[in-house]
């Protein structure tokens, strides 16, 4: 799974591509959301 991130104004967009499966895919999503939320990110859109 690949996750590209971009910021427009104060909204963080995480563009997910590939197969989302339990294990590695879940961990990648969790890590990406955690990284954004530990910074200034409070508005997150998963696409």
Residue 11 has what pLDDT? 93
CB atoms within 10 A of CB 37: 12
Phi and psi dihedrals of 42, rounded to 5? -125, -20
Query: pLDDT tens for residues 4-15?
Result: 999 999 999 999
The per-residue pLDDT for 15 is: 93
pLDDT attached to residue 6: 93
Parent domain of 40: 2-46
> Would you tell me how many other CB atoms lie within 10 Å of the CB of residue 1?
15
Per-residue pLDDT, 19: 82
Q: What is the pLDDT of residues 1-47, one digit of tens each?
A: 889 999 999 999 999 998 877 888 788 888 999 989 898 878 999 88
Number of domains in the chain: 1
């Amino acid at each position: 799974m690949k996750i590209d991130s971009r910021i427009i104004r104060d909204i963080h967009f995480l563009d997910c591509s590939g197969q989302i499966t339990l294990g590695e895919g879940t961990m990648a999503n969790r890590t990406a959301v955690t990284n954004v939320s530990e910074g200034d990110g409070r508005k997150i859109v998963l696409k």
